[in-house]
Amino acid sequence: MKSFDSQRQKAVVGLMYVAGLIKKHQEKVLSRENLTYQQFNILRILRGQNGKAVSINLIKERMIDQTSDVSRITDRMGKAGLISIKPNKDDKRVRDVLISQKGLDAITGIDRFFDEMCNAPIPLADNEVMELNIMLEQILNKVIG
């Protein structure tokens, strides 16, 4: 009996498995700064806003893991002082989120390890990584548009 019904099925399962390995490795590195994978993702999104507050919905749209409970995670991050959360002055149902200095310091601390986070576990030569990036871009362009 064969393991997969098609090469496409094998590729998808392989991508899922490798993504899990990469995430596990990154979580190990992130634990040095007492951050979870989702918190790191949120802090990177907020840092990219250059001091501009954004809604929780915008954060959720940009998250790598869009199934995360962003409201719950941001509440915990607010209590930890990594971000500030305030009601939107135009729409009280919307909460504005802004990275704090403590959050900036935490993400800057992780920046020291970012190369390490990105180097494992992908034992490919530079030209193979470039080919992989091209294929991933093709997939993303067709799926996301």
- 97-100-103-104 Cα dihedral, nearest 10 degrees: 110
Q: What pTM, to 2 d.p., does this model score?
A: 0.83
Per-residue pLDDT tens digits for 98-121: 999 999 999 988 888 888 888 767
Per-residue pLDDT tens digits for 69-94: 999 999 999 999 999 999 988 888 88
In a domain, 138, yes or no: no
pLDDT at residue 2, rounded to an integer = 64
Number of domain units in the chain:
1
In a domain, 140, yes or no: no
In a domain, 95, yes or no: yes
In a domain, 30, yes or no: yes
In a domain, 128, yes or no: no
Any idea what the CATH number is for the domain that residue 71 is in?
Answer: 1.10.10.10
In a domain, 127, yes or no: no
Beta bridge partners of 87: 95
